[in-house]
Structure 1
Amino acid sequence: MQKSDPRRTDLAAAGTTGCGNDEGEYNSPGANARVGPVLIRDAHIAEPSPDGPWDPGDDAPFYLWLFNQGQSADRLLGAETTVARSVDIVSVDGTVRGPAEVPTGKPVELGEGRVHLLLRDLRQQIRGGDYAWITLRFERAGEVALRVHSPVPAYVDDATDAPGLPSPSPDE
C-alpha cells in the first residue's frame, strides 16, 4: 500500500504561483531549485535505515519532485556526484532505464516505489544529516547542481526514553 505524500498537494500550486506564501504552505525539507522552466523540489538522499548509515559500496536512493512550467516537455537525462561511482535512473525494481519524462504542467515524483535515481557504489559513508552535491542534467533545461542531504532518521528505538512519554508500568 502506497502512502500519500502531503507535499504533492502543494507542488502544482507552487509551480504555477511561486515558491510559497504567508498562508502556512508546507515547506519541504529537501533541496529546492530551478533550472530553466523546471522546478526541483524536496531533492534528498533517502534516510538511512535503523541499522546504520549508508556505507561505502552501498547504493542509496535519491528522491525528488519535478514540475515543468515550460511550453515543451523535457527529460531528466541523468545525474552526477563525487560521493558515488555513478547515478542511475532506475525502475521500481532497481533496473537501469532511460531518461525520465518531465511533461509540462504536471508534477513528476521520482521517489520510493516509483522510478527514481540511485547513487551507485558510494565512495564514502553518508549518515542522516550529511550533505552531498549532485548535478542533475536535463535535455532542454540544462544542468543544475544541488546541495542535498540525507534526513536524520525519524524512527525511535525505544519510545519510552523519549522526553515527555511515560514509561509503561510493570503491572500493564
Structure 2
Amino acid sequence: MQIFHPTSVYLAMVVLCSLLSSLAGVLVRYSREPVTKTEGHFVSLKCEVQYEIQNCDIVTNWYINPSGPESKPITNPNQYLISVNETEKGQFRYRNIFLTFNSLSLEDRGYYQCDAKCLNSGTEGKGHLLYLNVTADPYKGLKVSTWSGQLKADEAVLALSAILFLSRY
C-alpha cells in the first residue's frame, strides 16, 4: 500500500526547497575576534553579505552600539568611510562592506554590527557584535626632537673632521 504518490512527494520537496531558499536569502559574516588599535591609527572592519541575486534587492548598514541605548547607524562621512564591492558566484552575490577609520579616537571604542535586509522578501541578516577597543596613544602630546644630543655630537665630529681634512690639502 502506497501512502504518498511519487509526484506529490516530488512537488512537496520542490515547494519545501524553494521556501527554504527564500528564508535563507541573506547571510551576514565577519570576524569574531575583537579588534584592538591605538588612537590615531587606521583600521578597517569588513562585513560580507551573501544573498541570492534573483530574490533579493539588498540594503546594508553598519551600526555602533546596536544593542545599547545609543544605537545609531553609521552615516558621518567625515568620521567614517564606508566602501562596498560586490562579486557574483553562481546564483549568489557577495557584498563586502568596509567600515574604515582613518584616524581612530577613543570615542570610536564600542560594539559594531553589520546588518542586511532583502527588500523583496523582508528577510534580514545580522552579524554578531564586534568589539573595537581603542587604546590611548602613550606618546600623544609628547614632542620628540629630531636632533637628539647624540646627533648633535655626531654633527660636530663630522664638521671637525671635514675641517681637518680640508686643512691638510
Which TM-score band applies after superposition, normalised by the shorter structure? Answer: 0.3 to 0.5
TM-score w.r.t. the length of structure 1 is 0.35
TM-score w.r.t. the length of structure 2 is 0.36
Bigger Rg, structure 1 or 2:
2
Greater share of helix: 2
